[in-house]
């Protein structure tokens, strides 16, 4: 059962090939056996999952089951779940149990999905390797000496290891697409505002966006149809009709104009990764797509702009964690100043503290215009690059990451080298565009990803392209050794 896709599981449940209780128990058994080797989950909600599965079976038997009824899922531990610890990968929230569900969690509950647990992640979603988690790093199922990517590394590793058929994730600067590429699965970052951020613990509010991770584009389409919704509780949510993303998957790509930015194939790109991406582009060209060379001249400015804007917003968002209202609190504070200082020093990890300090500095008197204001101007230039490109092409494609998965600790002493892992993904967050990663090859027995970037609210198109590519190739069906048995 663990080798079936979400689409296949839905059919199997509806045709009574297996029950949701059987399916759920199967995945819980796999998690109990295999998760200690990957550390992909922080919390397992076995009892609740089995109760929900039994209810799903009753609904399936009654013939009034919603779309995902009985299908097991995982949530990234950044989404608040009522009555279940939601830690955001941090000591600061190790004891936090929300009294409510995030809108994304509520949407899956309404769709009848069964939640198996919460996945590991970089602390407060700050990282590209899943090495900053308070609960320890996640191992990449393809090579347990390598990182799975971050911050949604737990979700990516869990799907790659067949611990669940799908998982929710978030993307602030590439945190869905980069781990999807490094773990050989499919991941989609929707247009900013397409998926509600209410109940999703904030990192950088103008950049964060939730999205699905699964093995196939078809499964991501099914999940996105559930996740996407207008939410009046989220002031950045867009009131726009959610299409049936599965309805247009079978459309061919004849005449599709694919823009290929020169800046995505420059120095720093692994030669094997480039070869795999070029082969993927050739496959789409063989299906009738037109490959067009384009330029996104301000791509090189995306990383410095991002690492001013994101830390600045993080500094503001994380100011609420002070030991007074909820979360970690230091022992025996001498006074209020000591409470604040020691709570934050003890509760936050090194990378989170680094970004808070950077952000606070950028927002301080005398530096706001020079740093944060200037970064926002650069952000506009990056957005205009995309606007010009989409005047002549339908989608933009290139590598998701410059390299395949790297060894643990290999970039820990050089934060800038780590930040450059997101060089091809950050710009879409700055512009608010949708993007996804699909497996397109292997380098040194490790997967690499093809990134597909669409225009605003063009998720249906990029899902269609990804599906057509996956119909013609087999990379998305490749699995790490030992996980399919």
Helices (H), 15-102: 20-38, 46-62
Closest CA to 179 of 208, 156, 211, 158: 156
How many CA within 13 A on the CB side of residue 459? 32
Query: How many Å apart are CA 208 and CA 192, to the nearest integer?
Result: 8
Alpha-carbon separation of residue 90 from 216, 292, 319 (angstroms): 30, 44, 15
Q: Could you tell me where the beta strands, DSSP code E, fall in 185-322?
A: 186-189, 209-214, 257-261, 290-294
State residue 187 phi and psi, 5-degree precision.
-140, 145
Contacts of 285 (CB under 8 A, 6+ apart): 258, 291
Query: Which residues carry out catalysis?
Result: 76, 151, 175
Q: Could you tell me where the beta strands, DSSP code E, fall in 318-473?
A: 395-399, 435-443, 446-453
> How many whole angstroms from its chain centre is CA 255?
30
To the nearest 10 degrees (0 to 180), the angle between helices 6-14 and 20-38 is 150
- Please provide the distance, in angstroms rounded to a whole number, between the alpha carbons at the two ends of the chain: 10
Rg (CA), the chain: 21
Burial of 162 (0-12, 13-18, 19+ CB in 10 A): buried
SS3 state at 378: helix
Burial of 271 (0-12, 13-18, 19+ CB in 10 A): exposed
Query: How many Å apart are CA 184 and CA 215, to the nearest integer?
Result: 8
């Amino acid at each position: 059962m663990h080798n079936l896709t979400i689409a296949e599981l839905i059919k199997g449940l509806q045709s009574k090939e297996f029950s949701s209780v059987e399916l759920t128990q199967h995945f819980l058994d796999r998690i109990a056996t295999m998760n200690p080797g990957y550390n992909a989950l922080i919390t397992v909600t076995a009892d609740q999952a089995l109760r929900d599965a039994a209810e799903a079976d009753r609904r399936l038997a009654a013939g009034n089951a919603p779309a995902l009824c009985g299908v097991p899922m995982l949530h990234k531990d950044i989404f608040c779940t009522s009555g279940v610890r939601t830690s955001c990968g941090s000591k600061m929230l190790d004891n936090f149990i929300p009294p409510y569900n995030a809108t994304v969690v509520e949407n899956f509950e309404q769709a009848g999905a069964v939640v198996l647990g919460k996945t590991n992640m970089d602390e407060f979603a700050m990282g590209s390797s899943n090495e900053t988690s308070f609960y320890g790093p996640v191992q990449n199922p393809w090579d347990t000496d390598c990182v799975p990517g971050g911050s949604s590394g737990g979700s990516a590793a869990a799907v790659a290891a067949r611990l669940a058929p799908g998982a929710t994730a978030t993307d602030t600067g590439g945190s869905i697409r980069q781990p999807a590429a490094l773990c050989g699965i499919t991941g989609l970052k929707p247009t900013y505002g397409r998926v509600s951020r209410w109940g999703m613990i904030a990192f950088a509010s103008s950049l964060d966006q939730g999205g699905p991770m699964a093995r196939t584009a078809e499964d991501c389409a099914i999940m996105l149809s559930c996740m996407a919704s207008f939410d009046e509780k989220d002031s950045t949510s867009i009131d726009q009709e959610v299409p049936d993303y599965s309805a247009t998957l079978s459309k061919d790509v004849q005449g599709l104009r694919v823009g290929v930015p020169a800046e995505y194939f420059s120095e720093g790109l692994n030669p094997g990764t480039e070869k795999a991406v070029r082969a993927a582009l050739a496959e789409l060209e063989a299906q009738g797509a037109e490959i067009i060379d384009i330029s996104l001249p301000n791509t090189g400015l995306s990383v410095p702009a991002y690492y001013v804007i994101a830390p600045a917003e993080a500094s503001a968002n994380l100011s609420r964690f002070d030991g007074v209202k909820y979360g970690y609190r230091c022992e025996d504070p001498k006074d209020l100043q000591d409470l604040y200082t020691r709570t934050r020093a003890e509760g936050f990890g090194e990378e989170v503290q680094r970004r808070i300090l950077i952000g606070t500095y950028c927002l301080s008197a005398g530096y706001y215009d020079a740093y944060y204001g200037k970064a926002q101007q650069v952000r506009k230039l990056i957005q205009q690059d995309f606007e010009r490109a989409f005047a002549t092409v339908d989608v933009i494609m290139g590598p998701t990451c410059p390299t395949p998965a790297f060894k643990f600790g290999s970039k820990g002493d050089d934060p800038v080298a780590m930040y450059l892992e997101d060089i091809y993904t950050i710009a879409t967050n700055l512009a608010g565009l949708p993007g996804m990663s699909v497996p397109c090859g292997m380098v040194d027995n490790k997967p690499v990803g093809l990134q597909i970037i669409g225009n605003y609210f063009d998720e249906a198109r990029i899902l269609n392209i990804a599906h057509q590519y996956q119909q013609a190739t087999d990379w998305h069906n490749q699995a790490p050794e030992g996980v399919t048995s």
